[in-house]
Structure 1
Amino acid sequence: MVQIFMELPINNFPDAPELKDSLKEPAHTKDQPSFKDQRRDRIIQVARSVFYEVGYAGASMSMISNRLGGSKATLYAYFNSKEELFEAIVREQCGEMAALFQRHIGSEDLRASLTVMARQLMSAVMSDGVIRTIQLVVEESYRNPHLSEMFHNVIQSQGRDNLIGLLQAAHDKGQIDAPNIAEATMVLKSLLFGDCHFKRIMNLLPEPTEAQLHRQIDLAIDVFMTYYGRPAD
């Protein structure tokens, strides 16, 4: 009797919708991540903490899987190597930066957009987490130049290229006069980062306060717009 019951299709039980639902894969909406996405995010979160604690060289896939509490097979189902996992961490951080630039492309009030964008950007890149990621790349760059090359390429595609797009749109709208957009991008980045970012990487400064960041950003944008900005008609 049990065997017969197990072989009957679910449709033979129209009065038991809860039985059908219990056998379905959990539903998720477009805005709700799937179980696979949630598991991947969890792996990245745990791996990040391991990298930050023991460094890139000291971390291993075995250590990360032990921290996760699962098998290495599960970890390798998502990431083929420690380097691929570290790249996912970098791409996650830089992806947020790219989205930030893209939201402000074509803005009618360039100064206001640059200020909002820069405050969010600098709050992220001066944070302990991003600074620690950069420190890991610097620490490993001599032994593993491919890691620093990967980091540079991701920063280039997700960060610098999108900032170039933002400034190119401003130039095309007549908001700035910047015939060399790549150079203008370098100038703006240098003004924003100043020497504070370098000192953060060297552990010479604590994470800046909001007021300190805003002061640095306002000065940087004032200088940039004084040189590149066009007067309003």
Structure 2
Amino acid sequence: MRVRTESKREAILEAASQVFLESGFEGASMAEIAARVGGSKATLYGYFGSKEDLFVEVMHSAAKHHFERIFAALENDSDDLPLALQRFGERTLAVLCQESAVQARRAIIAESGRSDIGVRFFEGGPKKGTAELGRFLALQMEKGKLRQSDPIVAAHHLMALLDSETITPRLFGIEKKLTKGYVREAVGRALETFLAGHRPSGGAGNKGS
């Protein structure tokens, strides 16, 4: 019986990430991934039950790598709320607007009508990120920097505003590449709308501390 190791698992994820990026979900094969790793398909299936399982784990692993640092930075920037959210928005979109992330999201959407891959991706990725952002916003509500509301709904509102001028046009191929200046201005417009809608009574609290 083969012993599964973390190093082998990481090697599989790395190889799978490259193959999915090059060929997309539909075009990628477990045989090609196994060849990149230097093993057999049986070895892959010993770690991941299906191509869908492997694809979702690749997405979650990449998101964890980026967003643990993004949320840590958000906590460190929290004294000045508008500045903290501006930096959070720019850092988040720098990841989500990458070509690899856009391709992955397109693949997930395409497969969602045929399997539960969309649900699994959402539960282990975006839902967790929204919960983390919601916890941050709840703390800002307690400090009086935002009006009291459902923090998860507020997090959904913020992410939707950030998506509207950036991720959405990237997904549809309307924008091939977004400059840092464009993203910065788009985040600013999103935050202007978000903070106006979530300003505490009296208008204080959105100017930092």
TM-score norm. by structure 2 comes to: 0.83
Matched, 1:89 2:58: yes
Alignment partner, residue 158 of structure 1 = 128
What corresponds to 1:20 in structure 2?
A: none
- 1:104 counterpart SS class: helix
Give deviations 1:157-213, integer Å, cap 9, x for gaps.
321111111111110111111323233222211221114312211222112111111
Aligned position for 1:134:
105
Match of 1:117 among 79, 83, 88: 88
Secondary structure of 2:141's aligned partner: helix
Aligned residues, how many? 197
1:180 maps to 150
Once the two structures are superposed, the pairs formed by residues 142-221 of structure 1 within 5 Å of their partners are 142-144=113-115, 146-221=116-191
1:127 maps to a residue whose letter is Q
Q: Distance in 1 between matches of 2:68 and 2:129?
A: 5
Give the conservation status (yes or no) of the 8 Å contact 2:12–2:37: yes
Write the distance in 1 (CA, Å) between the matches of 2:118 and 2:127: 14
Q: Give the CA deviation at 1:105.
A: 3.8
Distance, in Å, in 1 between the alignment partners of 2:182 and 2:7 is 36
Measure how far apart 1:37 and its partner are.
4.2
**Are the counterparts in 1 of residues 146 and 198 from structure 2 also a CA contact under 8 Å?**
yes
Q: Any runs of at least 4 consecutive aligned residues in structure 1 with deviations exceeding 6 A, and if so which?
A: none
Q: How does 1:33-52 map to 2 (within 5 A)?
A: 36-52=5-21
Give deviations 1:82-139, integer Å, cap 9, x for gaps: 1221121121133232552254248222112111111110100111111111011122
Match of 1:55 among 24, 45, 48: 24
Question: How many angstroms apart in 2 are the aligned matches of 1:127 and 1:54?
Answer: 16
Specify the alignment match of 2:199 in structure 1.
229
Contact 1:47-1:85 at 8 Å conserved across structures:
yes
Q: Distance in 1 between matches of 2:149 and 2:42?
A: 53
195 and 211 in structure 1: CA distance in 2 versus 1, 3 angstrom threshold: closer
Of the three residues 79, 101, 124, the one matched with 2:71 is 101
TM-score, normalized by length of structure 1? 0.75
State the alpha-carbon separation in 1 of the partners of residues 196 and 174 from structure 2. Answer: 31
Give aligned-pair identity as a percent. Answer: 25
Structure 2 residue aligned with 1:65: 34
CA distance in structure 2 between the partners assigned to 1:113 and 1:226 by the alignment: 16
- Superposed CA deviations along residues 10-58 of structure 1, whole A, max 9, x for unmatched, are xxxxxxxxxxxxxxxxxxxxxxxxxx54443332122122223333233
Deviations 1:143-162 (A, max 9, x none): 22x11111121234321111
Unaligned 5+ residue runs, structure 1?
Answer: 1-35
The structure with the largest alpha-carbon Rg is 1
Distance (whole Å) between structure 1 residues aligned to residue 74 and residue 21 of structure 2:
32
